[in-house]
């Protein structure tokens, strides 16, 4: 395997290699050349910036000079540490949201190396992981990222166009809680304004600022002078009285009303302010939503552990941090938040309060603010291509003069962190034409052995796309379409792959 990247630092050396990638490079070059675009170069990005052996200042990225990271390719990654971990220190590890990626890396004490293999499959975008290791008694977390490129499409035009087409009909369907790669794409600003997954993506990027603001609030809580009234018997009056109270006291004594009680008022600092009630509500809101994300993540696995232990631990650490602030003593005297009657200068200007208020506004309007600043996981390209093909057939039907019959609500099923299509005939699109021809277009309808009209002989069948046409005389025709993201380029006698791309023979046989 040729070495694709060598990263040398004062703590470790990192080597990335793979089998021959020339075929992927040629295919990508041909794809982009046909579109008049240049082939991008791969870069390894670091956060925080990393001091390399050949640099005098820490760098944010290392350019590799050519495109080397592609979909459906295995890559071996090895970290060679210069010093073995000390006794009692945690072993070096790779942290990622997916368990399968974390467990693919293994640390060897014999060679003092951390080694693993990755294959993003049909997931394209930014592949990012965190390298955690100890050095001289302190824990270091270094983020490393690089882009996985598709070879059959242009990320800047084709992939974006496919995303926009899917978003226009099935808003938020493409988003996922955790996949191999992530993207910096703007979110759709249509229905599902309370989609929990997008709130969580915004929270991930803002949680450090939120915790810093809450810490400032707890250390210097806002308070104001508030008047407290209490009733005191005449015999227990102490201290200085107002002129009106002294006159009334003299009058009651003259009338010998010694059992008379007096109402006294005193101003004291009180933390039960609208601003503190707002801060308390923000903390409770964050805890509730993070707990919901964790619950849905566990339910989504359906008995199979998909998310990594480090990801679940991170979720718990965020909840624990918010609960720590929620249990602060002064919040016991703070009541329930019932809104603000007017603008508060404390929330807009006071340190800590202003930061929390700004973050709350961003979390509240997260759909309008997801403009590429946040990293979001998407479904793999093969899934998106299948739905895009489904929508392309729908567009072709309309271009042929058919009128779509309104079906009411969009056929989507949402859990809060994942949106699914309502598969089968229940989520089908219906069309009609002036000559009486009717069409039904369905995504993954299910046919079983015991169905009435159409049944299968052996096993349940679920074709990708079904197109059914019914004519005025009652006759009907059904077409089945199978969306194949996989392609094959034929090779000549010398083994050189040339000519037009085609569907692999195996894919046709499977269909």
Domains of the chain, by residue range, sit at 3-156, 196-221+274-378, 226-270, 381-505
Q: Which two tokens stand for residue 129?
A: 């992981």
> How far is the C-alpha of 171 from the C-alpha of 492, rounded, in Å?
44
SS3 289: helix
3-state secondary structure of 100: helix
For 83, how many CA atoms within 13 A lie in the half-sphere containing its CB? 12
User: Two tokens at 306?
Assistant: 């998909």
pLDDT of residue 191: 45
Average pLDDT over residues 494-499: 59
What is the per-residue pLDDT across 333-346, written as a single tens digit (0 to 9) for each? 888 888 888 888 88
Distance CA 442, CA 394 (A): 10
Over residues 286-298, the mean pLDDT reads 89
Q: What is the pLDDT of residues 218-265, one digit of tens each?
A: 998 888 766 666 677 776 666 666 667 666 767 767 666 766 776 766
Encode pLDDT of 402-459 as tens digits: 999 987 666 677 777 778 877 677 778 999 999 999 999 999 888 888 777 777 888 8
Distance CA 346, CA 357 (A): 10
Interval 9-19 mean pLDDT: 94
Sign of CA dihedral 64, 66, 70, 76: negative
Residue 355 scores a pLDDT above 90: yes
The residue among 315, 313, 319, 264 whose CA lies nearest residue 286 is 319
Supply 43's token pair: 């870069």
Q: How far is Cα 262 from Cα 164, in angstroms, rounded to an integer?
A: 73
pLDDT greater at residue 336 or residue 508: 336
Alpha-carbon span 107 to 78, nearest angstrom = 10
Q: What is the mean pLDDT of residues 141-154?
A: 94
First to last CA, the chain: 35
Distance separating alpha carbons of residues 415 and 404, to the nearest angstrom: 28
Token duo for residue 83: 């010093």
* Full-model pTM: 0.81
Say which residues have a Cβ less than 8 Å from residue 91's Cβ, sequence separation at least 6: 85, 107
């Amino acid at each position: 395997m040729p070495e694709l990247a060598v990263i040398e630092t004062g703590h470790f050396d990192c080597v990335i290699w793979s089998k021959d990638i020339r075929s992927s490079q040629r295919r990508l070059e041909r794809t982009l050349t046909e579109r008049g675009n240049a082939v991008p170069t791969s870069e390894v990005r670091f956060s925080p910036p990393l001091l390399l052996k050949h640099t005098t200042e820490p760098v944010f990225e290392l350019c590799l000079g050519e495109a080397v990271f592609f979909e459906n390719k295995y890559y071996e990654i090895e970290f060679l540490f210069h010093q073995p971990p000390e006794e009692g220190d945690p072993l070096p590890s790779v942290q990622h949201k997916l368990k399968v990626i974390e467990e693919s890396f293994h640390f060897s004490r014999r060679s003092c190396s951390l080694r693993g293999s990755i294959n993003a499959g049909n997931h394209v975008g930014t592949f990012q992981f965190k390298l955690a290791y100890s050095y001289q008694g302190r824990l270091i977390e270094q983020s490393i990222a690089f882009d996985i490129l598709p070879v059959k499409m242009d990320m800047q035009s084709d992939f974006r166009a496919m995303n926009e087409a899917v978003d226009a009909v099935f808003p938020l369907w493409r988003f996922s809680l955790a996949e191999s790669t992530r993207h910096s794409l703007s979110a759709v600003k249509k229905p599902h304004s309370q989609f929990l997954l997008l709130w969580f993506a915004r929270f991930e990027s803002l949680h450090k600022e939120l915790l810093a603001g809450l810490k400032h609030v707890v250390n210097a809580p806002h308070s104001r002078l508030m008047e407290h009234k209490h009733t005191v018997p005449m015999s227990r009056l102490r201290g200085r009285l107002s002129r009106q109270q002294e006159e009334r006291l003299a009058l009651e004594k003259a009338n010998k009303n010694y059992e008379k009680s007096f109402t006294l008022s005193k101003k004291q600092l009180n933390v039960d302010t609208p601003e503190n009630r707002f801060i308390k509500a923000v903390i409770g809101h964050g805890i509730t939503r993070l707990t919901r994300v964790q619950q849905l993540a566990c339910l989504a696995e359906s008995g199979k552990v998909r998310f990594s232990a480090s990801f679940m631990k991170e979720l718990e650490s965020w909840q624990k941090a918010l609960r720590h602030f929620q249990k602060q003593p002064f919040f016991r005297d703070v009541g329930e938040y019932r809104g603000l009657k007017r603008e508060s200068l404390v929330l807009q200007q006071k340190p800590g309060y202003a930061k929390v208020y700004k973050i709350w506004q961003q979390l509240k309007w997260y759909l309008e603010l997801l403009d590429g600043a946040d990293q979001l996981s998407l479904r793999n390209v093969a899934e998106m291509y299948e739905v895009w093909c489904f929508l392309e057939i729908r567009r072709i039907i309309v271009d042929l003069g058919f009128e779509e019959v309104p079906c009411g609500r969009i056929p989507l099923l949402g859990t809060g962190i994942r949106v699914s299509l309502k598969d089968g005939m229940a989520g089908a699109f219906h069309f009609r034409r002036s000559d009486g021809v009717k069409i039904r277009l369905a995504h993954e309808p299910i046919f079983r052995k015991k169905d009435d009209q159409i049944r299968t002989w052996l096993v349940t069948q679920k074709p990708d796309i079904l197109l059914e046409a019914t004519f005025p005389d009652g006759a009907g025709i059904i077409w089945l379409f199978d969306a194949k993201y996989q392609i094959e380029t034929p090779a000549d006698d010398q083994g050189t792959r040339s000519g037009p791309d085609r569907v692999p023979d195996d894919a046709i046989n499977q269909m």
